Structure 1
């Protein structure tokens, strides 16, 4: 699944880490891939250091067609006993060579659904296939902010679920509008699952309620204008509808941290993070129920 934000600084990477921890606590083997190549961070947040990374895997595959995972990932040491359940693929070693590799990658892409596939897209797909063969039960993509390059690639059909992370500012809402347009273009007969997460809400209850209500209305209006069709349109307060936003308030204990070491229990106990994780789980649970029904029939 893809965790995406149109703007940076919204807590997207922290949310990726928290959801990886949630899955690991359920015994699921998780791979976390840092696709934010121009502003990487998931490796530092989870105390992972490697000699190679995602940028090397993509570049090698484009050059040779091969993909050697050795020394390109490590385990989330920040999460203690659950570390070995979470394999983290950082962007790569941040040095002058990293900048040169990034400059050589060709991210130019055709229109969504075009018959030809660009090399970076093909390399990323091959990485995902390789990880599935390695037995990972979940693959989380921490996408670059903005509708372009790897952010655009990861939104163009790779993910089972898209987690769209945003703040309640005009720039963020405008970005969400554009993101919904992109996602709506790629759908066929059904609505691709996504989860909307509204972050950095005020801590005080009165300000929280006011701001959450205001932004929920604006998001609902976007869905009426861009997504919902026909007569069967959900109501504003339909908590199961696609327009429902999951709230996440400012958390002083998360601000200005360089690593999540020592915070695993706090993350797992946080009610808002647990509610978001359960919302992201829902499409998985639905697919599992469908598979079990088909096996029984």
Structure 2
């Protein structure tokens, strides 16, 4: 099975033989609600589309819900300025990964992009990210830290002095930049306003920080509610950002601090933006269960470059034994 929205679009297109100026678009919200828009001069009934959706969902045995079903004539669509939204094939959600048939999708960027992910919070993911960045900088690499843990961001606080420096700090964070570009369609948003250098001493490399925000306020909460990751990818915003930091800052590696759990921002980081993932997990069954599912879905889309690091493992024979058993459950080869 392919992506559910693609399958339904193909079924409706074939069933009603839509003409060149007619179209159908199916979208799936982050909560698993399927919305359908059809523009056609044929006599298409909402009830028929609903029945078609119900039949398809029964075949898949999935827990999707049916949302709005809008049907317009071509004349109505023109009057109301209703247009088909361009989908980017590089965008992948967790629902896409469920039925991706192990088709490999390569990140097109030359720069290495690595996401740090944990199924649960509080396992030391952000600390591991920062320590990795410092070690890379110490080895002469130029590293960008990108905070996409948008619902619980932390890099703006960890590096408060640098982020808020009057001369070299940021003017605003990545979320406001995305909001301006994607929602408002602004041409004034500038990439060089959303990052700063940590200006480390005694290392041969350099670390840049691109925080989610400069400081927490109501505007930030409003902006993340309005942003949809699929819209961001359709406008190819991150391709522009990554190209900029690669050319202008000579960045070698981008490290992304992702949101925990299964959600649109986390799937966007892991499945769309990254070409490698570091899984951070506390050694218990709850974390292992979540990581197993995440790794399975990544394998479905051909992403097999990942590693697992256990945090808070007790340095004892019992701790090592427990960690080894959990790695076996993950079916990941690991030296302990």
TM-score (norm 2): 0.58
Structure 2 CA distance for partners of 1:175 and 1:246, relative to 1, 3 Å? farther
State the partner residue of 1:201.
313
Judged with a 3 Å threshold, the aligned counterparts in structure 2 of structure 1 residues 46 and 245 are, in CA distance, closer, same or farther, namely farther
Q: Which residue of 1 aligns with 2:129?
A: 16
Cα offset, 1:59, TM superposition: 1.3
1:56–1:83 distance in 2 versus 1, CA, 3 Å: farther
Query: Is the partner of 1:10 in helix, strand or coil?
Result: coil
> 1:246, 1:103 → 2: CA distance?
42
SS at match of 1:184: helix
1:199 to 1:245, Cα distance in 2 relative to 1, 3 A: farther
Q: Which residue is equivalent to 1:123?
A: 237
SS at match of 1:18: helix
How large is the Cα RMSD of the aligned pairs? Answer: 2.3
Q: Secondary structure at the match of 1:156?
A: helix
Match of 1:97 in 2: 219
Residue among 140, 143, 159 paired with 1:27: 140
The CA distance in 1 between the partners of 2:201 and 2:225, in whole Å, is 36
Q: In the alignment, which of 33, 39, 42 is matched to residue 155 of structure 2? A: 42
The answer to whether residue 329 in structure 2 is matched with residue 218 in structure 1 is yes
Residue in 2 that maps onto 1:133: 247
Structure 1 regions of 5+ residues with no counterpart? Answer: 110-117, 221-242, 248-297
Higher strand share: 2
Aligned to 1:52: 172
- Structure 1 residues 104 and 246, CA, compared in 2 at 3 Å: closer, same or farther? farther
Equivalent position to 2:293, from 147, 161, 178: 178
Relative to structure 1, the CA distance from residue 83 to residue 41 in structure 2 (aligned partners, 3 Å threshold; closer, same or farther) is farther
Corresponding residue number in structure 1 for 2:276:
161
Q: Do 2:196 and 2:208's aligned partners in 1 also have CA atoms closer than 8 Å?
A: yes
Separation in structure 1 between the aligned mates of residue 233 and residue 227 of structure 2, nearest angstrom? 7
Q: Quick check: 1:75–1:83 contact (8 Å CA) kept in 2? A: no
Report if aligned partners of 2:191, 2:241 keep a CA contact under 8 Å in 1. Answer: no
Q: Are the structure 2 counterparts of residues 83 and 61 from structure 1 closer, same or farther at C-alpha, using a change threshold of 3 Å? A: farther
Does the 8 A contact of 1:2 with 1:154 survive in 2? yes
Q: How many residues align?
A: 211
In structure 2, what is the Cα distance between the partners aligned to 1:128 and 1:143?
17
Map of 1:250-265 to 2, 5 A cutoff? none
Report deviation, 1:65.
6.3
1-structure distance, mates of 2:149, 2:272? 18
Richer in helix (by share): 1
